[in-house]
Structure 1
Amino acid sequence: MQRNRPGNNDPRHSPDGPRRPARPAVTPRGLPARRVAAYALLDITQERMPLDEALEKQFGQGDGLLLDDRDRALARAIVTSALRRLGTIHAALDERMPKGIPPKSGLLAEILIIGAAQILLLDVPDRAAVDLAVHHAKADRKAFPYSKLVNAVLRRIAESREDILADTSASEGPRWLTERWRKTYGAEVTQAIADAQRHEPGIDITVKSDAAGWAKRLDGLLLPIGSIRLNDRAQVATLPGYDEGEWWVQDVAASLPALLVKPKAGERILDMCAAPGGKTAQLASAGAKVTALDRSAERLKRLSENMSRLKLDVTVVATDARHFSDKPFDAVLLDAPCSATGTIRRHPDVAWTKQPDEIASLTSLQSSLLDHAAKLVAPGGRLVYSTCSLEPEEGEAQVTAFLARHSNFTRSPIEAAEVGGLAESINAQGEVRTLPHYLPNETPRLAGLDGFFVARLVRKDD
């Protein structure tokens, strides 16, 4: 959708324009949540601010201070849904607004996007979505001249809902990312990835033991890899076993790296980039003596809280993993910082907060972390490297370059039986490459998994 860049079109930076009250005398119920959603969407798409940060910023000021928990959840749902289908929404608006967004029209673009998201994707009556969008436009100094346009465009979108949603030709993410995937995976696989990312994912759970029993108790689907996928969305803290620390929430693909470490009771294992702790919990629940590193003390606080609930004993160290020293470990897990493009189905803001140039800087960081990890692996020990990225520079190419630098390491090929028989995820080198459309299911919410890369390496005996 065509629109001006921030600074020309952002009402927070453009005080001039038609004189009009910023707010109606009586604020319609539900409008503050929509305004919060609009500003959060603007921060994500124009300022590249992560979703949680954008929402927290809005919750702490202006309209956000007026929202109760229910309205905050609504604002989050609106923004998340809009981001997940932003390409579809842009295409629908472009078709009905061939001249694009008028210049200096304030929040008009965001008002239309969140209105369309409610009509197309959320359980909001069409009339309520349209009326609130019109009120929203009238309350914005620069958008108010276009309130009739908002009404007309959104009504036309409501009339064509089925046709709009049936057309999956639009790319939901930025063009540069789609083109990258087409080059790497081909057009057909890229389309399958996009289709998977259009659906809200289910909730996956990793259990300490008795996965089949807990699947029954939690009304979940037992996945081949051993995780449980809940049949319905729920407040996880209210479910059986949560307070007792019997399980934790973790995407099934995210459980693979720690699983492929093959931890044994009594082994010393280092988790180099550990927070928030799902993989740490897997290692510790197997009886390993785990040291968990993270450079963020705040994130480690959350990890420690998780370990306390799970009743797991872990050594926690706040430091840059590249500067950590200790005697060699039996195994090291490096789930490295990455572009996170494999998690877009769960975190749709990632598509809009990342830029191509970030991948180069991330691969440099990953290389230095890998080189330091190599020093911390005992002879005969394992090094598992993983990223939640779909970009080969952060996965396959990274491991190939590492092995060229470190002749004392070799691949330990992963077999399909180790990942629940998911043979399509094993590449020719014995590495794991999951893609979002794997694990199909007739119910879209019960299908798919995050995109992950995992390689297992072994240090040769000295």
Structure 2
Amino acid sequence: MPPLPPSARHKAAVLLDQIIGEGRLMPELIASGTLDRLPPEDRARAQRLAMDTLRGMERADRILSKFLRKPPPLTVHNLLRVGTVELCTGGDAHGVVNDMVAIIGRHRRYGNLKGLMNAVLRKVAEDGPRKWHDLRIPRLRNWLREPLVKAYGQGVMNAMEKVHFAGAPLDLTAKGDPDALAKATGGTVLPTGTVRLREAGQVSALPGYDAGDWWVQDAAAAIPAKVLDPKPGEAILDLCAAPGGKTLQLAAAGATVTALDVSATRMERVTQNLARTGLTAACLTEDALTHSGGPYDAILLDAPCSATGTIRRHPDLPFAKDGSEFGALIDLQQAMLDHALSLLKPGGRLVYCTCSLLPDEGEVQIEDALARHPGLVADRAALERPGIDPAWITEEGGLRLRPDYWADRGGMDGFYISVLRREPPKDN
């Protein structure tokens, strides 16, 4: 029996197989060509189905457990999960069930389970939509949930999980006037100046894309460059710069920017984004720990981290990771921070940030850095920017952002941000 042509539902399950079964992340799979055989509209649909299924996995498994005596093989289970999420959130029962039965029926190994697929999904179609909304908000996996509950408490964790489950709107940073961009795109301007779109559609079709009037950047991710407060003509180093949103912000402010990242592939994205927006920066593919340029007026270090603050946009992360890399990342952040400080002019400023919710990658890193480096201070005043709630400023003088902030507006990524200044030595 010849294989069916690839479909969005089939490829969504393939993505889940590799995320859950192989520990691979969605961006890596997309970049490696997993969806390349699909037309553009089906690529977007497959990715959306996979992400919706990851967000609703707990609910899907609860519903399916009533119709399965034991968990089926992962591939079959993932097809059932995709079908269940779609059926329970408004999908056409006839189309979903028939398509899933056809997909499994042509599978070389599991084709004999098409009867199971048909029977289970028909029961889900009858009973699932009614029960879906009665189930609790899906929780993070325990390896991540436990340390976050310890850090923030059960109530905050529940609020963050609610935002994770809802997903994320599209945020844009304007090269020019945010109000004009909001008017052109039908978005709204957030208190910090980011333009947010609830229903964006195809990003490249939005007004101003070809003209380079804006770039995609979560509201929280735009704040580090704002608190750095770049000035025209300043020499600024953007360490770990890809995909380039912060580089674009610094360049748009008129700074002389050096953008550095260890990945040539990721730096190519920075180059493309600069070209589209008509902005300029020197782009270097180099290890941040060996860079010897400068000294710089200012440095922005968006350090490699667990990315646990981005789960509302990347629900694959808790399924692909298990936390085993945390220790190595924390050591790398410390080394990068120490090296970056050595590249800074006396009196210069450095923004350290991570898109992490883990205090060990944020608050604790800065507490330790202040203890290691005499003359290094956290600049609280630099955090007093439009739209930033003073309650977000932490004891050691950093800024803690969480997904549940602005929950009624769609939330934001979890971030930690600190502005550090190395005071020049005093005369004796």
Provide TM-score, normalisation by structure 2. 0.93
> 1:451 matched to which residue of 2?
414
Displacement of 1:141 after TM fit? 4.1
Structure-1 separation of matches of 2:345 and 2:231: 15
Q: Does 1:40 align with 2:15?
A: yes
Structure-1 separation of matches of 2:348 and 2:383: 22
Q: Provide, for residues 198-254 of structure 1, a one-character-per-residue CA deviation record: whole Å limited to 9, x for no partner.
A: 113111111122212221222111100001002421323222222222211110000
Residue from 233, 241, 249 that aligns with 2:216: 249
Letter in 1 for 2:85: A
Tell me the matched-pair count. Answer: 424
Contact 1:107 1:142 (C-alpha < 8 Å) held by counterparts: no
CA distance 1:169–1:220, change in 2 (3 Å): closer
| 1:430-445 alignment runs, 5 A limit | 430-441=397-408
Contact 1:263 1:286 (C-alpha < 8 Å) held by counterparts: yes
Structure-2 separation of matches of 1:80 and 1:392: 27
Contact 2:138 2:161 (C-alpha < 8 Å) held by counterparts: no
Q: Provide, for residues 173-222 of structure 1, a one-character-per-residue CA deviation record: whole Å limited to 9, x for no partner.
A: 32211112111111111111111001131111111222122212221111
Q: Secondary structure at the match of 1:40?
A: helix
Letter in 2 for 1:190: M
> 1:389 matched to which residue of 2?
356
Identity among equivalent pairs (%):
39
Residue from 332, 342, 347 that aligns with 1:365: 332
- The root-mean-square deviation of aligned C-alpha atoms, in Å, is 2.0
> 2:54 matched to which residue of 1?
83
Contact 2:137 2:165 (C-alpha < 8 Å) held by counterparts: no
Letter in 1 for 2:171: D
Q: Secondary structure at the match of 1:129?
A: helix
Q: Does 1:174 align with 2:137?
A: no
Contact 2:16 2:50 (C-alpha < 8 Å) held by counterparts: yes
Displacement of 1:156 after TM fit? 3.0
CA distance 1:153–1:415, change in 2 (3 Å): farther
Residue from 312, 316, 335 that aligns with 2:283: 316
Q: Secondary structure at the match of 1:385?
A: strand
Contact 2:366 2:396 (C-alpha < 8 Å) held by counterparts: no
Residue from 70, 90, 98 that aligns with 1:100: 70
The farther-off stretch of 236-245 and 136-145 is 136-145
> 1:219 matched to which residue of 2?
186
> 1:8 matched to which residue of 2?
none
Structure-1 separation of matches of 2:356 and 2:119: 41
Displacement of 1:300 after TM fit? 1.2
Q: Secondary structure at the match of 2:221?
A: helix
Displacement of 1:32 after TM fit? 3.5
> 1:111 matched to which residue of 2?
79
Displacement of 1:57 after TM fit? 4.5
> 1:120 matched to which residue of 2?
88
Structure-2 separation of matches of 1:263 and 1:221: 25
Contact 1:40 1:58 (C-alpha < 8 Å) held by counterparts: no
Contact 1:414 1:431 (C-alpha < 8 Å) held by counterparts: no
- Show structure 1 runs of 5+ residues with no match: 1-20
Contact 1:395 1:454 (C-alpha < 8 Å) held by counterparts: yes
Structure-2 separation of matches of 1:40 and 1:402: 40
Displacement of 1:409 after TM fit? 0.7
CA distance 1:270–1:415, change in 2 (3 Å): closer
CA distance 1:291–1:416, change in 2 (3 Å): closer
Displacement of 1:348 after TM fit? 1.1
Residue from 232, 241, 255 that aligns with 2:199: 232
Q: Secondary structure at the match of 1:293?
A: strand
> 1:348 matched to which residue of 2?
315
Displacement of 1:167 after TM fit? 1.9
Provide TM-score, normalisation by structure 1. 0.87
| 1:187-202 alignment runs, 5 A limit | 187-202=154-169
Contact 1:37 1:76 (C-alpha < 8 Å) held by counterparts: yes
Displacement of 1:68 after TM fit? 2.0
Displacement of 1:421 after TM fit? 3.6
| 1:36-75 alignment runs, 5 A limit | 36-57=11-32, 59=34, 65=37, 67-75=38-46
